[in-house]
Amino acid sequence: MQFWIIQGLNSLSLGGLLFLLSSGFSLIFGLMRLANLTHGAFFMLGTYFAAIAMRSYDGLNIWVTALGAGIAVAAIGGLFERLVLARLRTNPLGQVLVTLGMSFIISDACLMLWGGDSIPVPTPQNLQAPTRLYGFVFPTYRLVLVGCAITAAIVLYVLLERTRLGAMIRAGVDDAQMARAVGIPVSRLFTMVFCLGAGIAGAGGVLGGPILSAYPGLDADMLPLALIVVILGGIGSLLGAFIGSFIIGLIYTFGTALFPELAYIILFLPMIFVIAFRPQGLFGRVGA
């Protein structure tokens, strides 16, 4: 019984982390039809920002750090989109290659700046003690992380479904040409969404930091997870990213606990099935 409860909570916390990682990826893909392979690197940038900032300034608040890193990474993302991706709008393959190149550049830059050691991101002081409930012990921070993901999901939902900006983004996702024809500034929208997606990844990187630590290769570890979540959940769908994150969290956690040798098979098998039988994903608006 304890096994199921602890691993259940583990699934939830991993799902929360995955949502923070993949919601931005899904947004960008949905609107721009661009598999942004820099996404893992954006996430890693956030983690490194947190690791370095919190090492340099003792007692720095993680929420403030997340906000700061989110804005910083959003700015980097925005520049990248304006200066590079915007020029390649008609060349989707070129765009994907450029984002891949950019991810290599970022990861090598991180290595040059901060070295090859892994650097911990401290767990907030007041969340360090494990939560003890009915004899179960579970890290408090992981529970808080689930809360973060749910909050982020609600904020994004309101933004997309209840604001003018959200309506324009949804219009762009459904039919970019038609949206442009009715006067929506799709190009500017692209930049905004790219900033938003990158910013969420950066902030997510900070929040995931206490679990993951900053280390070279973090980007490459995270990117496939974002891909799986988004393909499973459905591209461009916030609900899809949300449900997909928790499904993958569940599969990954119980998979590695019950069949540790098959960790990767268990993780990728559902994705293959989904691509084969339901290419638009569980909640997708557009085909993969």
Partner 1 sequence: MTMSRRQFVGGVAGAGIASIAAPNPVHGQAGEPIRIGLLAAKTGPLASGGIDMDLALTMFLKERENTLGGRKVELIVADTAGVPTTARTKAQELVEKNNVHCIIGPLAAFEALAIADYLTEKQMPTLGVAAAEDMTQRHPSPWFVRLTSTSAQCAYPLAEYSAKELKYKKIVTIADDFAYGHEMCAGFQRAFEDNGGKVIQKIFTPLATPDYGSYVAQVKSADAIFLGTAGSNGFRFLRQFIEYGLKDRMAVIGGMTALDESVLRNMGDEALGVLTTSWYSAELDNPLNKNFASAFRKQFKYDPGYYAASTYVSGEVLEAALKAVNGNVDDKKALMTAIRSSDAQTVRGLVKFDEFGNVIGNVYIRKVAKIDGRLVNSVIKTYPDVTQFWTYDKTAFLQNPVYSRDYPPAKNLEP
Binding residues (CB under 8 A) for partner 1: these are 3, 6-7, 10-11, 13-14, 17, 108, 111, 115-120, 122-123, 128, 130, 137-139, 141-142, 211-213, 215-217, 220-222, 225, 252-254, 256-257, 260-261, 263-264
Q: Which amino acid is at 260?
A: P
Cα angle 52, 225, 274 (rounded to 5 degrees) comes to 165
Contact 81, 193 (CB under 8 A): no
Is the CB of 72 or the CB of 220 nearer to partner 1? 220
Cβ-based nearer residue to partner 1, 3 or 57: 3
Name the residue among 78, 71, 109, 67 with its Cα closest to residue 207.
67
Residue 142 CB, nearest approach to partner 1 (Å): 7
Q: Between 4 and 185, whose beta carbon lies closer to partner 1?
A: 4
Q: What is the DSSP letter of 57?
A: S
> Please, what is the minimum distance in Å from the beta carbon of residue 192 to partner 1?
29
CA nearest neighbour of 229 among 27, 6, 46: 27
**Min. distance of Cβ 197 from partner 1 in angstroms?**
20
Q: Shortest gap between Cβ of 140 and partner 1 (angstroms)? A: 9
CB closer to partner 1 out of 138 and 157: 138
DSSP 40: H
Q: Within a 13 Å sphere around the CA of 184, how many CA atoms are in the beta-carbon half?
A: 22
Task: Please say whether the beta carbons of 195 and 24 come within 8 A.
Answer: no
Place of tokens 């988004």: 230
29 vs 215, beta carbon nearer partner 1? 215
Q: Could you tell me if 46 and 73 are in contact, meaning their C-beta atoms sit under 8 angstroms apart?
A: yes
Q: How far is the CB of 224 from partner 1 (least distance, A)?
A: 9
What number of other Cβ atoms are within 10 A of residue 97's Cβ? 13
Least distance to partner 1, CB of residue 204, Å: 12
Of 97 and 129, which has the nearer Cβ to partner 1?
A: 129
